[in-house]
Amino acid sequence: MASAFREDRSHFEANSPTTSVHGGRGEDGDGTTNAPGRQSDGASSTDHVQEKAAAVAPLTKKQKFKRHCRRFWWWYLIGLVIFLAIFLPILFLVIVPAIVQRILDDQTMPISGGQFIAVSPTQLNVSIITSLDSPLPANIDPMMLLLYNEKTPTFSPFVNVTLPELHVKGTTELNIKNQIVTVTNETELTSWFASVFDQPTVTLSTRGDPKIHLGALHTNGHIDKTVTVNSLNKLDGFTIKDLQLLMPARDNGTNIQGFLNLPNWGTLDLGIGNLSLNLMSGDLRIGLITVYDVYLPRGNNIRFFNGELFLDTLFQNIGTVLSSQGDALSGGNIQINATGNATVVNGQHIRFIETILNNRTVTSTTSVIKLASDLIGSFTNGSQVSIPDMLDEVFGNTTFIQEVLGHWNATKTNSTAPTKRNLLASIPRSVRGPGALSLFKLGMKMRMGKF
C-alpha cells in the first residue's frame, strides 16, 4: 500500500512547489506564485466594468419622469378618477352656476321702449324692449318674467310676460312684442300706474328663473331686476290747443270740439281707449269732452276731442267762474282744469285707469286772446257776420276782459250761487258793468242760436 501511494505521487515534479487552491505559495514557502495569470484576469475585469459604466449614461429628468409614470401609472389613474369624482360635481353644481348667476346679477336690463295698451278690463297688450350683455355665448330657454312693484312689501306680481328663446352673445336685444296678458293683481297694477301718472320716473321690477345652456352644459339662474324708466309726470304740458263752439248744438248735445295736447314724457307708449274728461273751472263742472282711441307714444300728442260745454251752468255761475279765474286772468289767461270721467275700451270700462284719472287733475292755461279768437271763429264760421259789428253788439265800447283785468285786483269778493231771478247778483261788484251784462247777452244769444 505504501508503495502504491508513492507511485501515485510520481506524476508531480519534484521541484514543483505546492500551491493552494487560491494560488498562494506552498506550505514550504518555496517557489513562486502564479502572479502573471491573476494580473491578466484583473485587467480584463476592470476593462469590463469601465466599458459597462461608459455604456450606461445618466438619465435626464424627462426620462426619469417617463420611467416614473410607467412604473406608477395605475396610482395616478386611481388618483385622477377620485379627483374627477370630487371636482366634476363641484364644477357643475357650484362653480358653473355661480359664474352664470354672477353674470345675471351684473345685468342692468335697461328698458329702451315698449307699450302698455288696455284691451279689456282684465287684459293688456304688453311690449318691452330691453337687452342682456353676456361675456359667454349662451342659449336661454323660453321663460316667464313676473312684473311687480318693488314698493309693495309682499311679492305680488301684477302681470306675467313670456320671454322667447334667446341666443345671447355680447350685447343682445331682448324684445317682448305684443303679448296679450291677463292682469293677475289689479290692486298692484293700479298702484304702479298711479306712480306712472304722478312721477317723472317710475321703477319697474322683473323676476324670473331662466334655464341657460353653455354649449353642452346647462344650469338654472335667477333674475330679479328693478329698472327706472321715465313716466308721464302728471301730463305736464296738457293744453287745449283749439276750441270751437258748435251752434246750434248737434242732436246728441255736442256743442264743442277742438284739439288738445296729451304729452307723454315716459319711455313706454300708453293706450287707454276712449278717454272722457270733465272740464272744471275751480270746483265747478262746466263741460264734458271725449278723446277717442287714445294712444300716447313718447312726445307731444295732438288729439281731437268733442263734447258738451254746459252753457247754462257756465252763465248761471258766472261769478263763481270769474272768482276761480282770478289768478289766471291777472296774467291774461283762462285756466281750465280737467279730471277723468271714464275710460272705455270696446264698450268696457277700464277700472284701474279710471281709479287713477278720476282722482287726478290736469290744467290747461290758454291765452285770453287765443280763446277769444277761437270763439269768434266759431261764431262766424260759414256766416257773413262782421266781427267788428258782433264785438260792438256784444261788448259795446268796452271789452269785458279788459274790464275784468282792470278791476279784479282792486276788490275780490266771493260769489254766491245765482238764482233765476237775478243772474247778475252772482257777479262780484268789482267786475259788474257793461262788460258783464254784455257777456250775459252773449250767452242768451248763443242759447237762442243767434250765433
Q: pLDDT per residue over 382-417, tens digit each?
A: 444 444 444 444 444 444 445 444 444 444 444 444
Is residue 429 predicted with pLDDT exceeding 90?
no
In a domain, 344, yes or no: yes
Q: What is the CATH number of the domain that holds 126?
A: 2.60.40
In a domain, 410, yes or no: yes
Q: How many domains does the chain have?
A: 2
Looking at residue 84, what is its pLDDT? 86
In a domain, 383, yes or no: yes
Residues 216 and 272 in one domain: no
Strand partners, 304: 259
Looking at residue 245, what is its pLDDT? 87
User: What's the burial of 129, exposed, middle or buried (CB within 10 Å: 0-12/13-18/19+)?
Assistant: middle
Looking at residue 53, what is its pLDDT? 54
In a domain, 37, yes or no: no
Residue 125 · residue 117 · CB < 8 Å = yes
Looking at residue 201, what is its pLDDT? 95
In a domain, 53, yes or no: no
Residues 239 and 227 in one domain: no
Looking at residue 29, what is its pLDDT? 46
pLDDT class of 321 with cuts at 50, 70, 90? confident
Phi-psi region of 330 (alpha: psi -120 to 50; beta: other; left: phi over 0): alpha
Is residue 450 predicted with pLDDT exceeding 50?
no
Q: pLDDT per residue over 76-131, tens digit each?
A: 888 889 988 888 888 888 888 888 899 899 888 999 999 999 999 999 999 999 99
pLDDT class of 329 with cuts at 50, 70, 90? confident
In a domain, 255, yes or no: yes
Mean pLDDT of the chain: 78
pLDDT class of 436 with cuts at 50, 70, 90? very low
User: What's the burial of 403, exposed, middle or buried (CB within 10 Å: 0-12/13-18/19+)?
Assistant: buried
Looking at residue 46, what is its pLDDT? 56
Residues 219 and 187 in one domain: yes
Give the range with max mean pLDDT: 49-53, 204-208, 436-440: 204-208
Residues 206 and 243 in one domain: no
In a domain, 44, yes or no: no
Is residue 357 predicted with pLDDT exceeding 70?
yes
Looking at residue 267, what is its pLDDT? 94
Is residue 16 predicted with pLDDT exceeding 60?
no
Domain boundary among 231, 255, 275: 231
Q: Coil, strand, or helix at residue 366?
A: strand
**Cβ neighbours of residue 64 closer than 8 Å, sequence gap 6 or more:** none
Residue 200 structural domain:
113-231
Is residue 234 predicted with pLDDT exceeding 80?
yes
pLDDT class of 291 with cuts at 50, 70, 90? very high
